[in-house]
C-alpha cells in the first residue's frame, strides 16, 4: 500500500514529503496507522549527521497509533489495539539485557538497517531509529509496538515514546530524585518539560528551569518549575543564589551542549548528581580538572532513554496521566502536518517552543 511519509534522502539533505510503498507485515511484524508523531531533537540529529542511520530513511521515532494488521506469529496484538511505538526494543539476550539494563541493549537499533519500505520508483528505504513514525502508516517488529494503557489519549500518547520516557526516567531512574531535593533542568524542550513534571511528581522542593530563551519561562512554570534562570555565563552563580549558595542536589542537562553540561555540573552542590540526557556531537568537548573532581565529589552520569524499561514504565507513567499528575498536552506547543517538519527543525535550532506534534487525519 502507498502512504505519505517524510523521507531523508541523504544526510544533510532536505526532507522530502512523498509517497512510499509499505509491504504487508511479515512474520513477527505489525502494521500501525499513526495518530501522531512527535518531532524530537534526535530526528534533527539524524538528518544532519550528528547521529548516524542508514539512508535514505523514513525518520520519526516518537509515535502512537492503532494496529491495522499483524503478521504470522504475533501474540498479544490484534487489529484495533492502540499502541505506543518503542524505538529501542530490547533483545533480551545481550549482556546489558542480562543485567537488566534494557536501555543499553546492544541490539536495540539493529532494525534500523532493514529495508522498511520503498519509494514509488523502487528506492529502498530504512526506518529511522527502527520505527519510521513520520508516515501515515508504518510496519514494525511487534516488539516495537507496546499496548497503550487505558486512560491516555491516543494523540498525546505519542509523547510517551521518547520525550516522556526519557525525561521521566532521567529524574526517577538516573538521578533518583528524592522528596525535598532541589533540581535544575537545563533545556526546556520536550524532554526538559517532561523532566520538570517528573521532578514535581518526585516531590522536589525547588525546581529551577534553565533555557536560553526567555519565552520558555511560561512553559516551564506550567510544567512545575518554581524558578526560571536565563542561560548565560552567570547561570551557576544564579542557581547557587537560589539554593543557599550550595547548588542543587540534582542537575538534569537536556541540551547536549558542552557549555550547558559544564554549567549543569557547576550548578550541582558538593556531592550532588549531574545527569546528562542531551545528545551532543563528538566535537562538543567537556573538560574537568583532576582537583575539582576530587574536591566537589559530584557524580556525572550519562543517561540513555531515561534508563527506562518501556514495558515496566509505561503503565506507571499512564497512572500519573490518569491521576492528573502528568499533563502530556503541556509539552506540546504546536500541532503540525508532515510538510511542517522542516519548520519544526528550524524552531528547534532557534530554541523556540516545546514539542511539535505531527497529527495525522
pLDDT block averages, 10 residues each, the chain of length 361? 94 94 96 97 89 92 98 96 97 96 96 93 94 97 96 96 97 98 97 98 98 96 98 97 97 96 98 95 92 96 96 96 96 96 92 94 73
Residues 6+ apart with CB under 8 A from 144: 85, 86, 87, 89, 111, 130, 131
> Which pLDDT does position 94 carry in this prediction?
97
Q: Which residues pair with 127 in a beta bridge?
A: 58
> Which pLDDT does position 53 carry in this prediction?
85
For the whole model, what pTM was predicted?
A: 0.95
> Which pLDDT does position 351 carry in this prediction?
86
pLDDT in tens, 261-305: 999 999 999 999 999 999 888 889 999 999 999 999 999 999 999
Q: Which of 71, 332, 319 is nearest to 194 (CA)?
A: 332
> Which pLDDT does position 51 carry in this prediction?
85
Count Cα neighbours of 276 within 13 Å in the Cβ-side half-sphere: 17
- What does DSSP assign to residue 22? P
> Which pLDDT does position 191 carry in this prediction?
96
Amino acid at each position: 500500500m502507498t502512504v505519505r511519509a517524510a523521507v531523508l534522502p541523504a544526510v544533510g539533505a532536505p526532507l522530502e514529503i512523498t509517497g512510499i510503498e509499505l509491504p504487508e507485515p511479515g512474520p513477527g511484524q505489525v502494521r500501525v496507522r499513526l495518530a501522531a508523531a512527535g518531532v524530537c531533537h534526535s530526528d534533527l540529529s539524524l538528518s544532519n549527521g550528528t547521529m548516524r542511520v542508514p539512508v535514505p530513511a523514513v525518520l520519526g521515532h516518537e509515535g502512537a497509533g492503532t494496529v491495522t494488521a499483524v503478521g504470522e506469529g504475533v501474540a498479544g496484538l490484534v487489529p484495533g489495539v492502540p499502541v505506543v511505538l518503542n524505538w529501542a526494543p530490547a533483545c533480551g539476550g545481550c549482556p546489558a539485557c542480562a543485567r537488566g539494563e534494557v536501555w543499553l541493549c546492544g541490539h536495540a537499533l539493529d532494525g534500523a538497517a532493514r529495508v522498511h519500505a520503498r519509494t514509488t520508483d523502487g528506492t529502498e528505504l530504512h526506518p529511522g531509529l527502527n520505527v519510521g513514525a513520520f508516515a501515515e502508516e508504518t510496519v514494525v517488529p511487534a516488539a516495537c509496538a507496546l499496548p497503550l494503557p487505558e486512560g491516555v489519549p491516543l494523540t498525546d500518547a505519542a509523547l510517551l515514546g521518547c520525550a516522556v520516557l526519557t525525561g521521566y526516567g532521567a529524574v526517577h531512574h538516573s538521578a533518583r530524585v528524592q522528596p525535598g531535593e532541589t533540581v535544575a533542568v537545563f533545556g526546556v524542550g520536550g524532554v526538559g518539560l517532561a523532566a520538570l513534571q517528573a521532578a514535581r511528581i518526585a516531590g522536589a522542593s525547588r525546581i529551577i528551569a534553565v533555557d536560553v530563551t526567555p519565552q520558555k519561562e511560561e512553559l516551564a512554570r506550567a510544567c512545575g518549575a518554581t524558578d526560571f534562570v536565563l542561560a548565560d555565563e552567570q547561570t551557576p552563580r544564579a542557581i547557587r543564589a537560589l539554593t543557599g549558595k550550595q547548588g542543587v542536589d540534582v542537575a538534569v542537562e537536556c541540551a547536549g551542549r558542552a557549555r550547558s553540561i559544564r554549567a549543569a555540573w557547576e550548578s550541582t552542590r558538593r556531592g550532588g548528581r549531574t545527569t546528562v540526557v542531551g545528545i551532543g556531537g563528538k566535537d562538543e568537548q567537556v573538560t574537568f580538572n583532576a582537583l575539582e573532581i576530587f574536591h566537589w565529589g559530584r557524580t556525572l552520569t550519562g543517561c540513555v532513554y531515561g534508563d527506562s524499561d518501556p514495558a515496566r514504565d509505561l503503565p506507571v507513567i499512564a497512572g500519573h496521566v490518569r491521576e492528573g499528575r502528568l499533563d502530556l498536552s503541556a509539552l506540546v506547543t504546536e500541532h503540525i502536518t508532515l510538510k511542517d517538519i522542516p519548520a519544526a527543525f528550524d524552531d528547534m535550532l532557534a530554541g523556540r517552543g516545546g514539542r511539535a506534534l505531527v497529527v495525522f487525519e
